[in-house]
Structure 1
Amino acid sequence: MTPRTTELPQPRRPGSYRVALVCLGNICRSPMAHVVLEERLADAGLADRVEVTSSGTGDWHVGNPMDRRAAATLAAAGYDPTRHRARQWGGNDDADLVLAMDLANLADIGGRSDRVMLFRDFDPLEPGSEVPDPYYGGDSGFEEVLAMVERTASALVAALGESAT
């Protein structure tokens, strides 16, 4: 699948940018992307200008920590997964950019728009692809998701560096 665009929408407020990440339950993919993206933004000196949130379209896990396998995969790679608590998507009219992890999540939040895209639209290797849900698989699925998230987050941070100034 080819992405519609990889250009970021303009920020709603000068000097700040809000990114919302959305998956199904907010315990695997979107929180992994949240943790990695926040760290990459901090490393790039953008943490004070870009706010990241994550949520799930379902309410099954609200208030719970990240899936233990997702957390273990992040921790093994040097990230801190401990602060995450699952939230449910309730719409986010003030987000500058909403990134869904897969096509079902994208449909659940109303489909593509100027501010709503797939997370992997920014993936330099497979733009427009979905982030597969590792929940029902083994540890290797979480490692695969982390690799996708890391490279996509790096590309997204580069784009945000140009837009969030």
Structure 2
Amino acid sequence: MISVLFVCLGNICRSPMAEAVLRQQLQEQELSEQVKVDSAGTGDWHIGKQPHEGTRKILDRNNISYEGMRARQVKLDDFQSFDYIVCMDTNNEKDVRQLFGSRCDGHTKVFKFMSLLPERKTADVPDPYYTGNFDEVYEMITAGCKKLVERIKEQLHEREKEAIR
């Protein structure tokens, strides 16, 4: 099984949106059983809360489920539990790397979401909690998750080839 953790600041806007979108895309590709998806925040002030109203509205509008999703804080164990730790912005990545410390050395599992979309020439997914622009963020996340699905499919294919050997 491959596992993906999306990380943003409070785990109520960007990362739960990415979690829900990726789950939907994996379901459409019939890969749900092979990939675990979760999200977390670097901060603790929204723990236990459901996604932000703006995130819920855009997911509802696009018929994407966020059922059962509640904010949680990223924890040290997440480094071992996830193959991909995808940070929504530079500060989130810095905080995650600081939490994980030397475990990150030499690992490529922690990276910024926008590295999936290098053609965009922007480092960070803007935080709609502050900008209010949930549509822009949804569009970026949808495009980036499609690229991540392709990466995951390649990894699953490689694992299948190795299992045959």
Specify the TM-score bucket, using the shorter chain as the normaliser.
0.7 to 0.9
1:87 aligns with 2:72: yes
**1: CA distance between counterparts of 2:23 and 2:135?**
19
**1: CA distance between counterparts of 2:85 and 2:23?**
15
1:34 aligns with 2:19: yes
- What corresponds to 2:143 in structure 1? 151
More helix by share: 2
- What corresponds to 2:127 in structure 1? 133
Deviations 1:54-100 (A, max 9, x none): 00000000000000111101111221223210010013122111100
Q: CA deviation at 1:26?
A: 0.2
**Secondary structure at 2:139's aligned position in 1?**
helix
**1: CA distance between counterparts of 2:65 and 2:113?**
21
* 8 Å CA contact retained: 1:124, 1:155: no
**Secondary structure at 1:136's aligned position in 2?**
helix
1:119 aligns with 2:107: no
Query: Bigger CA drift: 105-114 or 57-66?
Result: 105-114
Distance 1:123 1:109, change over 3 A: same
1:66 aligns with 2:17: no
- What corresponds to 1:106 in structure 2? 93
Match of 1:142 among 134, 154, 157: 134
Could you tell me which amino acid in structure 2 is paired with residue 51 of structure 1?
A: K
Query: Bigger CA drift: 108-117 or 121-130?
Result: 121-130
Scaled by the length of structure 2, the TM-score of the pair is 0.84
Match of 1:49 among 34, 42, 51: 34
1:96 aligns with 2:90: no
Higher relative contact order (CA 8 A, sep 6+): 1
Decide which structure has the larger Cα Rg and report it. Answer: 2
Runs of 4+ in 1 over 6 A off after TM superposition: none
**RMSD, aligned α-carbons:** 1.6
Query: Bigger CA drift: 150-159 or 82-91?
Result: 82-91
- What corresponds to 1:5 in structure 2? none
1:19 aligns with 2:4: yes
Q: CA deviation at 1:45?
A: 1.4
Unaligned runs of 5+ residues in structure 2 are 99-103, 158-165
* 8 Å CA contact retained: 1:17, 1:50: yes
**Secondary structure at 2:33's aligned position in 1?**
coil
Could you tell me which amino acid in structure 1 is paired with residue 130 of structure 2?
A: Y
